[in-house]
Amino acid sequence: MQEVSGSNPLCSTKPHAGTAMKRVLFLLPLLLAAAHSLEVQRHGLLFEKWLRDTFFGGYEPESHTQKWDIPASANTRFGNIPVNPKTARHGSPIGLGDALRQYDIDEPFLLIAGFWQQTTPALKTWTNVQAVRVDPTAWRKLWHPITRADLEKLETVIKDKSLSLEQARQSAQEIKSRPPFTLAVMQVNPKIDSSQRRLQCSLRFTDFFTHLAPQASTLPQKQPQIFGVDVPRGVPSAPRQF
């Protein structure tokens, strides 16, 4: 058989063509999963962008790893403090990200929490939105009696590559199921799978309102607002799949 010429490995009968095809087939599900993940997270990205455009001068983050999503320098109208926008399903915990980074917060900040419901298979609707100033003293109380050393010990277990994924999960679960973690309002969430070994944290829905927004109602609002401005009601976004 005559060899097909050309530089495209998918069209070649050379030995490496099969390997290239296998790589494509291996990567395709990962790419599709990543695309779906971005789609279901689209509501959070759009919510943050709407906040930045509406209240913070169209600020654009320099990096997705920067300390604050919206730094104090961009918040000239509402206290000159950094801003942390978060979204969660109505009634579900608010994911806050890296536990050690959150524990280390020692300055006041504005936490803007947007809660949503999946009203149709392709649409999320904002049901309750709160903007609360969080002072360091109130933030530290949420962590008590957890210390930084406690978090570091747990994170060391999570990242210990000598442990299998299952062993790391089991050890992390045993640690977080005992004091001081069971005594704190803030929840720690080990994330352990083939792609990550991280320690994150979250605040339960009721705890957010009890400790940070005690004057606000947990019920869905007829028209959610922030600083007197109506929040756009619906965001095209598919439900998350597990």
Angstrom distance (rounded) from CA 199 to CA 204: 17
Alpha helix ranges (H) inside 69-110 = 99-103
pTM: 0.80
Lowest-pLDDT range of 24-33, 36-45, 175-184 = 24-33
Q: What is the pLDDT of residue 22?
A: 53
**Domain residue ranges of the chain, discontinuous segments joined by +:** 39-236
Element spanning 143, H or E: helix 136-143
How far apart are the two ends of the chain, measured CA to CA in Å? 46
pLDDT band of 44, cuts 50, 70, 90? confident
pLDDT at 32 over 70: no
Residue 8 confidence class, pLDDT cut points 50, 70, 90: very low
CB 205 within 8 A of CB 92: yes
DSSP strands (E only) in 59-149:
83-89, 94-98, 109-120, 123-134
Q: Measured on CA atoms in the order 144, 147, 150, 151, is the torsion positive or negative?
A: positive
Asked whether the predicted pLDDT for residue 160 surpasses 90, the reply is: yes
* Residue 239 pLDDT class (50, 70, 90 cuts): low
Q: Place 2 in a pLDDT band, splitting at 50, 70 and 90.
A: very low
Q: What is the pLDDT of residue 122?
A: 84
pLDDT tens digits for range 61-95: 988 888 999 999 999 999 999 999 999 999 999 99
Confidence of residue 237 (pLDDT cuts 50, 70, 90): low
Give the chain's mean pLDDT: 86
pLDDT for the residue numbered 64: 81
Least confident of 61-65, 125-129, 174-178, 207-211: 61-65
Does residue 215 have a pLDDT over 80? yes
How far, in Å, CA of 70 to CA of 84, rounded?
7
pLDDT level of residue 214 (50, 70, 90 thresholds): very high
Cβ atoms 88, 206 nearer than 8 A? no
